Amino acid sequence: MNVGVAHSEVNPNTRVMNSRGIWLTYALGVGMLHIVLLSIPFFSVPVVWTLTNVIHNFGMYVFMHAVKGTPFETPDQGKARLLTHWEQLDYGVQFTSSRKFFTISPIILYVASRHLEQEVTFLSIGFRYPF
Amino acid sequence: MLFIDYSSAFNTIISTKLRTLGLNTSICNWILDFLMGSPQAPAYHLVLEGILILWIIRLLFSKTYKLQERSDLTEKEKEDLIEEWQPEPLVPPMSKDHPSLNYDIVTGPPSHKIIVNGKECINFASFNFLGFLDNERVKQKALTSLRRYGVGTCGPRGFYGTFDVHLELEDRLAKFMKTEEAIIYSYGFATIASAIPAYSKRGDIVFVDEAACFSIQKGLQASRSFIKYFKHNDMEDLERLLKEQEIEDQRNPRKARVTRRFIIVEGLYINTADVCPLPDLVKLKYKYKVRIFLEESMSFGVLGEHGRGVTEHFGVNIDDIDLISANMENAVASIGGFCCGRSFVIDHQRLSGQGYCFSASLPPMLAAAAIEALNIMEEDPVVILIWFRFFIFMYDLVNKYFQIDSYSAVKSVIGEVYAPALHLQLERSSGSRDTDVRMLRSIVDYCLERQIALTLARYLDKEERFLPPPSIRVVVTIEQTEEDIEKAASCIREAALAILK
């Protein structure tokens, strides 16, 4: 289902992460977080990358694996009351595309931060040794 | 710490090989930068990154699977099972004298004189407690409404099915019962069966009396909650269950904070014709913090000075009861049911009550008939007191007849003194329910021949949780005279003597 349309989904939480544009929104959200952190003047770039990683991981942990149930009442008498959002995704089907995406995204964020904190720019040839 | 210095690792690639491939210098330099970005990386960094990249590739290529569906049967086994299967007949074989195959046919309205199988009898079977079925005022009001609105509403309350009579009836019921709000359902059975699952969900706990009627049982089944039955009208059993639950709660207070607890009782039980001990229940409610749902189908219009039900009968404050549910198919002689209580509670059912949202609303002429019945009840509360003494009379009579005789052990009368519907059960069961039912049925037939219409209490034998023993249900209404009741009591006694021996 796409958010904002009429649907017959019993628990919309299961389909939110498959909606149109949600992956892009998530990526842009992480990007926004990074830019906001970069604007704080007394953080150096490696520190900002570390902070992005930490805050992203903490936020995803809280929303996906810590909070249980749904913020709305579902018509199935509360089947998902004790399930985290991660467990609710796609009604418990494992390794669907959105689950893979959200498993891979922190890894990619880590690998990207490892490479990009060294200020390699694409246009100039200047680079700096890190440690 | 092992360091790998590969600052000169790519020397030959850039200078010779990439140039010979014809790549332009700036791209070569960019590649060189990328490769040389961390020329003095510790070994474990590279190893870690390699593992992560491999992990990503593995995740990308893993297959989607569901957790539960794993059948361990081979194709051949599946084929064998399919071939072995023999379909059961749609209609299972049954005996010729099954009650569903031999029913009594009623011609005309089931009023005081009912025509059963062509014979006119005095009606001791229909729940027409206050005689509103035949009341001229009610009939006139219904006819006017019929001419104005037609018969059906053709829609649920949300889709143009709300008429002014519905709102008026809800308003009048709320005022009559002295609660904040009331909500109307179009089918009496569905009233409590929709109300329970609207509030009680998976993980919630419901304490129910064993003698709860079938509609309550269906509501509990739909709610998917934990159900704990306590012995009929046994407050100590209920207290024991509540104490056990309290101990459980103390073990896990976070879970207890989100668990809802309910007690569901009937005011006047249809299966046993006695009254719940409401003041004790209210005390337990405040001691153990549970909510009370009261089902008043039989006691609405019957108990209490003005007919407000079991709360008025015991003098309990109506605000102590969280939800009162009743059907209007008994004393009010209409169709449908209502729930009343605080606005906060009742409003929830307007979106969560399945029977309210997804069934067509009550036909307006029935709502108008119910309003008129309420009018009569309010004008003339003496109406209710009059047949109060009929019950006592009936009870005494039946007891008198059955106590004088040495066959007093033959039948026992089940029910309270002021219950309008009594059950007559066999004192000693013959062992099989079928024979009991057949004996009682022959008593009913005997009485039907002598123009007394009685009925067996009917249950869905396989679906009831605690199946009550077979019984004859006798209903006393306001329209029966003392001679009628005498006649009925003596007829039952003769039948018992003749058939039961």
Counting Cβ atoms within 10 Å, is residue A110 exposed (0-12), middle (13-18) or buried (19+)?
middle
Chain A: residue nearest B7 by CA? A129
User: For residues B433 and B436, what is the distance between their CA atoms, to the nearest angstrom?
Assistant: 5
CB B197, CB B179: distance < 8 Å: no
DSSP assignment of B43-106: HHHHHHHHHHHHHHHHHHTPPPB-SS------HHHHHHHHHH--PPPSS----TT-TTTS---E
Return the number of CB contacts < 8 Å for A and B.
Answer: 69
Strand B106-107's sheet: what is its strand order? B106-107, B113-116, B119-123, B452-453
pLDDT tens sequence across B195-219:
999 999 999 999 999 999 999 999 9
- With CB atoms and an 8 Å threshold, state whether B64 touches A92: no
> Which residues, given as ranges, of chain B have pLDDT below 70?
1-23, 26-41, 69-71, 382-394, 396-413, 417, 501
- With CB atoms and an 8 Å threshold, state whether B30 touches A107: no
User: What pairing do the DSSP bridges indicate for beta strands B323-327 and B291-295?
Assistant: parallel
**How large is the ipTM?**
0.78
How much is the pLDDT for B402?
57
Residue B34 touches chain A, beta carbons under 8 Å: yes
User: For residues B347 and B357, what is the distance between their CA atoms, to the nearest angstrom?
Assistant: 12
Residue A66 touches chain B, beta carbons under 8 Å: no
The Cα diameter of chain B in Å comes to 124
How much is the pLDDT for B405?
42
How much is the pLDDT for A41?
92
**Per-residue pLDDT band at A130 (split at 50, 70, 90):** very low
Global confidence as pTM: 0.84
Return phi, psi of residue B496, to 5°.
Answer: -65, -45
What is the 8-class DSSP label of residue B459?
-
CB B122, CB B484: distance < 8 Å: yes
How much is the pLDDT for B7?
59
Mind telling me how many Å the CA of B246 is from chain A's nearest CA?
21
Which residues of chain A make contact with B30, given a CB cutoff of 8 A?
122, 125
Which among A96, A120, A131 has CB closest to B37?
Answer: A120
User: For residues B467 and B462, what is the distance between their CA atoms, to the nearest angstrom?
Assistant: 8
Closest CA relative to residue B341, chosen from B267, B291, B275, B304: B291
How much is the pLDDT for A126?
38
Q: Which residue has the tokens 């059993």?
A: B237
Mean predicted lDDT score pLDDT of chain A: 87
Taking the CB of residue B472, how many other CB atoms lie within 10 A of it? 24
User: For residues B124 and B454, what is the distance between their CA atoms, to the nearest angstrom?
Assistant: 5
Question: What is the three-class DSSP state of B288?
Answer: helix
Closest CA relative to residue A45, chosen from A126, A112, A124: A112
Residue B43 touches chain A, beta carbons under 8 Å: no
pLDDT tens sequence across B117-129:
999 999 999 999 9
Q: Which bin fits B301, alpha (ψ -120 to 50), beta or left (φ > 0)?
A: left
Closest CA relative to residue B477, chosen from B126, B40, B20, B64: B126
Tokens coding B460: 């869905």
Which among A81, A104, A120 has CB closest to B34?
Answer: A120
What's the Cα-to-Cα distance from B287 to each of B282, B284, B295, B342, B430, rounded to whole Å?
9, 5, 22, 21, 44
Residues 6+ apart with CB under 8 A from B438: B97
- With CB atoms and an 8 Å threshold, state whether B60 touches A82: no
